[in-house]
Structure 1
């Protein structure tokens, strides 16, 4: 019978404890999130960051992927590439890009809460089959088909009753409302 020696990892105060599985997962999630943030930058902004060629190529490719499952898989791939490199130089370069006075880094504009509330109120009225709201939208956009708008409202209401989170009909209605608000 053998006993473990006292110099096993974790028994001496000089040796750091190994990372727990939870901490490793959290670090991987943070790196994947950083990769997602990087994928929102333009190609010219990415070139300024002096990234690894494989990571740069993956970030540029991420812009053209539209399918949800493929995009999720590609984000995981970017996360894998991020784990293979040191994120500190990337974070430092990103901070320099944000601090650049030339306006190279432009974050997405914040949504005006009043406009967002107005859009939501308009959407609620459409979903409640308010004829006046429907006529207002149809008069502002003469190329829109009345039957198509009614079908979108009907299908969006069905998806809401089914409690579907990613309703393409609801997204289409929101897109119409955003275009209407721009007019």
Structure 2
């Protein structure tokens, strides 16, 4: 058995302390509450929206199960369980989607304006914009989009209320959610 000097212990402690990052209990609680809040919003989402997220199987099953829970206390407990499962999950894609769905966020507004620009380009620019749109959204029904654009252009020429432009925008939003 070798003797360790006091200087060796000090050097070892300094090296180890550099690697240790201390997190306060309050910070841990705030992080857990944030996960629970995101879990609550995920519980209220439609299954089609949940399909777009890269969720672990256990988390997805827990979210599906939460739809069947009616008791408030059981729902609260289940929310804690979902928060616990989310600790093992990469939450950045979830945060991004939730910010896109939150009408007060900058991300939502930016995305909404981008869709409005697509609508305006389709109505004003015609065929070049339509070609670019169909490249970006290949799942779009070509004939339906052309018909919506043609109706919106006709309305604009006749200075009627923009009902067809609204239909076009609604269709663009539906495509973007797919």
TM-score by length of 1: 0.47
